[in-house]
């Protein structure tokens, strides 16, 4: 999904901090001539963007999310606890020949074991300073 943003500052070579703009009816192309443009977002949403076009602070730009690694990591974070639950239950039933309630408890242990790598992976992604967006072009 392509969004409009304003470049706030240059972080380092090839990376800029951007302020994402809320999508409005006029698309912010009216240069303040209409009364609706005074309703800019009350809070800034700041993000990092790869700056391949050498945009400078104050430039209006078009950005798109660089979502490849985020989607695969999200799938892993949600899938690991589910796999742990299923494996724990299956091992409790077939390998240990436990009853249903005991197998359910081993499933819960597998669920807890699946949460550990999921939480660690989530923390690593959250702390990563990698750009979340890519600047496509300068609008004005």
Q: What are the b/e assignments for 29-65, b being 16+ CB within 10 Å?
A: eeeeeeeeeeeeeeeeeebbbbbeeebeeebebebeb
The pLDDT value given to residue 58: 93
**Structural domains present in the chain:** 3-67+130-138 (2.40.50), 68-127 (no CATH)
| pLDDT above 70 coverage of the chain, percent | 81
The CA-based angle 6-55-40, given to 5 degrees, is: 10
Mean pLDDT calculated for residue range 67-90: 83
Greater pLDDT, 46 or 67? 46
pLDDT digits (tens, 9 = 90+) for 3-27: 899 999 999 999 999 998 765 555 5
Mean pLDDT calculated for residue range 81-91: 94
User: Does residue 125 surpass a pLDDT of 90?
Assistant: no
User: Does residue 68 surpass a pLDDT of 70?
Assistant: no
Element (H, E) at 22: none
**Per-chain mean pLDDT for the chain:** 83
């Amino acid at each position: 999904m392509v969004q409009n943003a304003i470049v706030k500052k240059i972080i380092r070579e090839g990376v800029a901090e951007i302020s994402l703009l809320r999508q409005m009816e006029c698309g912010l192309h009216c240069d303040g001539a209409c009364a609706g443009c005074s309703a800019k977002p009350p809070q800034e949403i700041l993000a990092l963007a790869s700056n391949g076009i050498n945009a400078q602070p104050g430039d209006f730009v078009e950005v798109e999310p660089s979502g490849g690694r985020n989607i695969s990591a999200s799938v892993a974070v949600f899938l690991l606890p589910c796999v742990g639950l299923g494996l724990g239950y299956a091992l409790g039933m077939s390998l240990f020949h436990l009853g249903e309630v005991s197998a359910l408890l081993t499933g819960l242990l597998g669920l807890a074991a699946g949460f550990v790598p999921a939480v660690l992976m989530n923390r690593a992604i959250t702390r990563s300073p990698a750009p979340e967006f890519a600047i496509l072009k300068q609008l004005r």
